[in-house]
Structure 1
Amino acid sequence: MQAKILPFGFALILFISCFQIVGQKPQKVEDIYLPDGDKVEVKVWVQDLEIPWSLVFLPDGRALVSERPGRIRLIENGKLVPEPYMIINVKHIGEGGLMGLAVHPDFPNKPYIYAMYTYESDGKIFNRVIRIKDEGRKGVFDKVIIDSILGARFHNGGRIKFGPDKMLYITTGEIFKGELAQDLNSLNGKILRLTPDGEIPSDNPFPNSPIYSYGHRNPQGLAWHPETGDLFESEHGPSGEYGRFGHDEINIIVKGGNYGWPKVIGAPGEKEYIDPIVVWKDATPPSGMTFYKGDLFVATLRSEALIRIKLQRSGKSYKVTKIERWFAFDKRRGKYGRLRDVVVGPDGNLYVLTSNRDGRGNPQPGDDKIYQIIFKK
């Protein structure tokens, strides 16, 4: 019998996958579906947006939302202002474009907004974070905070947030080049940490480096536990690389920690890597997230659910006690479509952004929208 010769690409995937360590899901609970949520009322707050990515509230009552094609939009008194707050020349390709927004922790004394976006230079794609000066109804470019992060059609990361330490945290994807996530000379596949002026903090884990943690595939959510200050992160698992699929994650980020991609997926318990606390083996991909009344809320894309994760603390560790998929009928269908971000508003309600016009969703009339989620007493 003549031996079959595998195509090179398939043979390479098979070869690499043999050396990739695959673990189980760490949580002991199964997801529960709640198509109506849990004692909530959902209202449309703003509509007619184009692929909104990030929402931030300012202390004077204004709000800003980024649209991936390159517009920052202003919301005043719950109304979308027709004229953009700022237009940024972005490379709107695939998952790239205008992504995360953040507000200076000392705003308005330091009236700065931060934005992360994809751009093209000399035929190459990059990501950068800039600082914008707020001038009421418009924003004006102030300075570049960090630049030359490799970009691509997919896996740009894009979430930026200030932590309780008043440092700026930035998530970067590995642009479908898994080896970059393990390379400490690369800014890709990382969580970065900088001062509000773009300097490297002296207590970062690696000398003269903005890298805070590494071994990430495509991290898109950051949230700090309100009591402990621990940093939680959401991350997209493989979508075909090395013959693997699913395995989306929620991680607790430790300074200098290696989260394993592409060498491990799931929670295999390997000493040199840090396991996630949640793994969804079916593609969920989680995006923006926030803590609300002690629970972690996660906006998800393909699974079209707002996920609530209930946690129990024991010393320095956490146990997942319950996972609820709000507004979802099953693993692929939800009431409001793809969800990109969830934030707590100044009124104590949750606000959720849809992403139905991103080429992967099914737009409904008025999409994209920001929904207000009001908790009934």
Structure 2
Amino acid sequence: MKPKILLTLAFFSFISCFQIVGQKPQEVEDVYFPDGDNVQVSVWIDNLEIPWSLVFLPDGRALVSERPGRIRLIENGKLSPEPYMTIPVKHIGEGGLMGLAVHPDFPQKPYIYAMYTYETDGKIFNRVIRIKDNGKNGTFDKVIIDSILGARFHNGGRIKFGPDKMLYITTGEIFKGDLAQNLNSLNGKILRLTPDGEIPLDNPFPNSPVYSYGHRNPQGLAWHPETGDLFESEHGPSGEYGRFGHDEINVIVKGGNYGWPKIIGAGGQPGYIDPIVVWKDATPPSGMTFYKGDLFVATLRSEALIRIKVQKSGKSYKVTRIERWFAFDNRRGKFGRLRDVVVGPDGNLYVLTSNRDGRGNPQPGDDKIYKIVFKK
């Protein structure tokens, strides 16, 4: 063996001594539904460039972010040719324009929120801004939070308002695992702010936007419709510490530590909160939503829309079934990489593809937003 290889193996062996690799907590195995479960799928919007987030406005309009820095307007099911707004982003790797959110009191407070990557003085950061809605376009209003460290990979990027009308923001640890455990860092966290960017008085840490920590690259948020509990999707390791896979679904507890990089999977260690789902093969889950009581999760490499059935069990949840829709196996799906899934005002699901992100195989018309109608 070459000395360099021996050195690398020794490093991984050393690190592994200080890292706990847990098991998958769910007792069920994934089942495949290549055509979904009694649904009809059609293309709603096509010819997008790496769409990341979709939001619907109360007046019937919709907005979709494209990672190179454009917010696009959809009216009456048609994509407007001119951007609603263009933002000067640092479109590099996984960075660029990412999550969108709508003020919970819209249109009385006509604001849209956006998270994006930017560069200044040769350094990369992420920020969340507020945008004033003007109907056909949006204009910058204010910065909500800034100076979140950014990088080519692991920027997080999902923003959503919770039932408490607070803004939740996911941030990645930019491949620097120690940041996830550092409460003085904004990275590897879920942050919580008021709609004006203030720190809520009931946040778990004094004068801090941090709501939970120990996250690697969180990309999805969804609240259970009955309990109000917050669920989160998170990407597991892709080579760090010699580990791969172990993507997660977590139930978020205020102030909770979710283990990265000290624990992978369900480690069962005091002081850390275990995920309710772990996929040992790389799945990476992204945007997600609850629909008719089930959790739907868009996934990237596995190219599946995953439906997870959960039941409240004590203080946590028991997973009773996991279905992989539109997938033939854990690497091939009908529609390619899926970035986000949302419920539309018509009661149907809408799914965004991410086939033009440099990791997919674009088909004619990509990227697309698919409309999923459940048959009666």
- 1:212-231 to 2 correspondences below 5 Å: 212-231=211-230
SS where residue 28 of structure 2 aligns? coil
Quick check: 67-76 or 4-13, which moved more? Answer: 4-13
State the Cα deviation string for residues 304-335 of structure 1 (Å, max 9, x = none).
00000001123433110000000000010000
Aligned mates of 2:261, 2:174 — CA distance in 1? 12
Aligned mates of 2:110, 2:10 — CA distance in 1? 54
Q: TM-score scaled by structure 2?
A: 0.98
Counterpart of 1:340 in structure 2 is: 339
- 1:283-294 to 2 correspondences below 5 Å: 283-294=282-293
Aligned mates of 2:128, 2:183 — CA distance in 1? 20
SS where residue 41 of structure 1 aligns? strand
60 and 272 in structure 1: CA distance in 2 versus 1, 3 angstrom threshold: same
Counterpart of 1:282 in structure 2 is: 281
SS where residue 301 of structure 2 aligns? coil
TM-aligned CA deviation for residue 127 of structure 1: 0.1
Please state if 1:325 is matched with 2:324. yes
Aligned mates of 1:4, 1:363 — CA distance in 2? 41
Quick check: 5-14 or 211-220, which moved more? Answer: 5-14
Counterpart of 2:372 in structure 1 is: 373
8 A Cα contact 2:55 2:63, kept in partner: yes
SS where residue 24 of structure 2 aligns? coil
Name the amino acid aligned to 1:226: P
- 1:166-245 to 2 correspondences below 5 Å: 166-245=165-244
Aligned mates of 2:9, 2:126 — CA distance in 1? 31
The runs of at least 4 consecutive aligned structure 1 residues that moved more than 6 Å come to: 2-5
Counterpart of 1:80 in structure 2 is: 79
SS where residue 324 of structure 1 aligns? strand
Runs of 5+ consecutive residues of structure 1 not aligned to the other structure:
none
Aligned mates of 1:261, 1:298 — CA distance in 2? 21
5 and 337 in structure 1: CA distance in 2 versus 1, 3 angstrom threshold: closer
Aligned mates of 1:14, 1:189 — CA distance in 2? 24
8 A Cα contact 2:251 2:316, kept in partner: no
8 A Cα contact 2:43 2:371, kept in partner: yes
- How many residues matched? 376
Aligned mates of 2:95, 2:313 — CA distance in 1? 39
Name the amino acid aligned to 1:163: G
Aligned mates of 1:371, 1:120 — CA distance in 2? 33
SS where residue 14 of structure 1 aligns? helix
TM-aligned CA deviation for residue 255 of structure 1: 0.2
TM-aligned CA deviation for residue 235 of structure 1: 0.1
TM-aligned CA deviation for residue 8 of structure 1: 4.0
State the Cα deviation string for residues 253-294 of structure 1 (Å, max 9, x = none).
000000000000010100111000000000000000000000
- 1:48-87 to 2 correspondences below 5 Å: 48-87=47-86
TM-aligned CA deviation for residue 192 of structure 1: 0.1
Counterpart of 1:13 in structure 2 is: 12
- 1:262-281 to 2 correspondences below 5 Å: 262-281=261-280
Name the amino acid aligned to 1:273: Y
Counterpart of 2:248 in structure 1 is: 249
210 and 42 in structure 1: CA distance in 2 versus 1, 3 angstrom threshold: same
SS where residue 13 of structure 1 aligns? helix
SS where residue 297 of structure 1 aligns? strand
TM-aligned CA deviation for residue 17 of structure 1: 1.7
SS where residue 267 of structure 2 aligns? coil
TM-aligned CA deviation for residue 9 of structure 1: 4.2
8 A Cα contact 2:24 2:265, kept in partner: yes
TM-aligned CA deviation for residue 5 of structure 1: 7.4
Counterpart of 1:124 in structure 2 is: 123
8 A Cα contact 2:231 2:250, kept in partner: yes
Aligned mates of 1:5, 1:248 — CA distance in 2? 30
Quick check: 3-12 or 303-312, which moved more? Answer: 3-12
TM-aligned CA deviation for residue 366 of structure 1: 0.3
Counterpart of 2:139 in structure 1 is: 140
Runs of 5+ consecutive residues of structure 2 not aligned to the other structure:
none
Name the amino acid aligned to 2:217: N
Name the amino acid aligned to 1:223: A
